[in-house]
Structure 1
Amino acid sequence: MTALNRPARLNRVLLALCGLLLLAGGGFVCATHYGRLTVLDRDAALVPGTATPPTWVLYVSAGAAIVIGLLALRWLAAQFARRPRTRTWRLERDPDQGRTELAASTATEPFVGEVATYEGVRAAHATLAGTRRAPVLAVVISADQSTDLGAVRARLDTEGLPRLRQALDLETLPVTVEFRFATASGDARVLH
């Protein structure tokens, strides 16, 4: 799992927490039912009465519902943050002489076009994120199942990435490459 795939990390944490809560609740109910825990009387009524609860209980319940709703909205919003945030780079050395701006998508288009022509590669997508001083490139390559990924990665390291670094005038460019295998039905399996 990479740092660029934040929703996966968040999903795993949320699922683990929900699973632990459900296991703890189920264990408590089973232990109480079979008499292992005597915290509650197993023959007692589930609800002590039909009277309206105190006002503070209603406020606490409403507050908890709001917090849970906001957490659910945050989780939904995280599902759409699949790519790192891109920026427009400013390339001027002397601002008095003028300003040159380069959109990250414009910089990666030739690179993606070249990678898509590699043998066995069906499609490629790249996201250039970060600033000019601290750039990060995330590459997603969809390939046939019979493709030699080592050859694709070697060609990427010897041809594609050096050209991109030269075009952007960068000495180093940290790269994350994700391979996706396309099946006959069009589904994809992911390898990092």
Structure 2
Amino acid sequence: MLRTLNRVLLALAGLVLIALGGSVLAVGYGVNPPHWWVHQSEHDVLLTAGERTRWREEGWWWPVVIAALAVLLLLALWWLAAGLRRRHLSALPLDTGNGDSANLRGSALEQALAAHTERLDGVERARVRLRGRPGSPVAHLHLTLAPDAAPLLVQHHAVTETLRAAKEATGQGNMRAEVRMNGVPHGAERVQ
């Protein structure tokens, strides 16, 4: 949901900026704009001298402008940081038992969990993604079920066996799992 909202907002912002920039360029190159447009010729300026100095004498004007721009900058930086944040867990810390520690690559654990899950009855294909934080990982299992699979039984085995194996292998007792299942598409059978 948030990914879709983010893409829609970025697309709208991009379209508005392209439309405004393109229209200013078009007027600058001599295209006649509609009568309601802000700039009527290539010699118009963005802000006239009167518009720029209108609020200069007011003591509240510049602090409000600076505060609003600072808030917009902080929101833009927050949005950028949220977009750049990794959703994929790249490594898990492991306790070796002798006081040392090691890191397990997230992709290695994902492949091992997928292979373990594909051996379960009723699972045609499994894909695993690790998300969350290193201290509280979440395994997202996307399973494609065989046509004769029992979804509740597959879910039970996937959570109990696969998750238990992952917890034992990593020492992450608080690892959680989210399971998504779809069936194998197959053609309809003809009944006579």
Structure 1's unaligned 5+ residue stretches are: 19-45, 58-70, 186-192
Residue 90 of structure 2: aligned partner? 87
Q: Any idea what the Cα deviations from partners look like across 1:14-62, whole Å, max 9, x if unmatched?
A: 59x97xxxxxxxxxxxxxxxxxxxxxxxxxxx535964473218xxxxx
Shift of 1:90: 2.9
Letter of the 1:56 partner, please give it. L
Task: Give the whole-Å Cα distance in 1 for the aligned partners of 2:97 and 2:120.
Answer: 39
Identity of aligned pairs, percent? 16
Task: Give the whole-Å Cα distance in 2 for the aligned partners of 1:51 and 1:98.
Answer: 72
Do the aligned partners of 2:96 and 2:102 also contact (CA within 8 Å) in 1?
no
Task: Give the whole-Å Cα distance in 2 for the aligned partners of 1:172 and 1:122.
Answer: 28
Do the aligned partners of 1:135 and 1:173 also contact (CA within 8 Å) in 2?
yes
Distance 1:181 1:164, change over 3 A: same
Task: Give the whole-Å Cα distance in 1 for the aligned partners of 2:128 and 2:109.
Answer: 10
Task: Give the whole-Å Cα distance in 1 for the aligned partners of 2:101 and 2:170.
Answer: 16
Structure 2 SS opposite 1:55: coil
Q: Any idea what the Cα deviations from partners look like across 1:116-139, whole Å, max 9, x if unmatched?
A: 122332211112233332212111
Structure 1 SS opposite 2:149: coil
Residue 105 of structure 1: aligned partner? 107
Shift of 1:112: 1.1
Residue 47 of structure 1: aligned partner? 35
Distance 1:47 1:180, change over 3 A: farther
Task: Give the whole-Å Cα distance in 2 for the aligned partners of 1:93 and 1:113.
Answer: 24
Match of 1:128 among 130, 134, 152: 130
Distance 1:8 1:123, change over 3 A: farther
Match of 2:161 among 152, 159, 162: 159
Q: Output the TM-score relative to the length of structure 2.
A: 0.52
- For the pair 1:114 / 2:110, whether they are aligned, the reply is no
Structure 1 SS opposite 2:126: strand
The ranges of structure 1 where at least 4 consecutive aligned residues each deviate by more than 6 angstroms after the TM superposition are none
Structure 2 SS opposite 1:115: helix
Distance 1:94 1:122, change over 3 A: closer
Letter of the 1:55 partner, please give it. V
Distance 1:172 1:48, change over 3 A: closer
Task: Give the whole-Å Cα distance in 1 for the aligned partners of 2:42 and 2:119.
Answer: 70
Structure 1 SS opposite 2:186: coil
Structure 2's unaligned 5+ residue stretches are: 13-33, 48-75, 188-192
Structure 2 SS opposite 1:56: coil
Structure 2 SS opposite 1:110: helix
Letter of the 2:142 partner, please give it. V
Q: Output the TM-score relative to the length of structure 1.
A: 0.52
Do the aligned partners of 1:144 and 1:183 also contact (CA within 8 Å) in 2?
no
Do the aligned partners of 2:94 and 2:104 also contact (CA within 8 Å) in 1?
yes
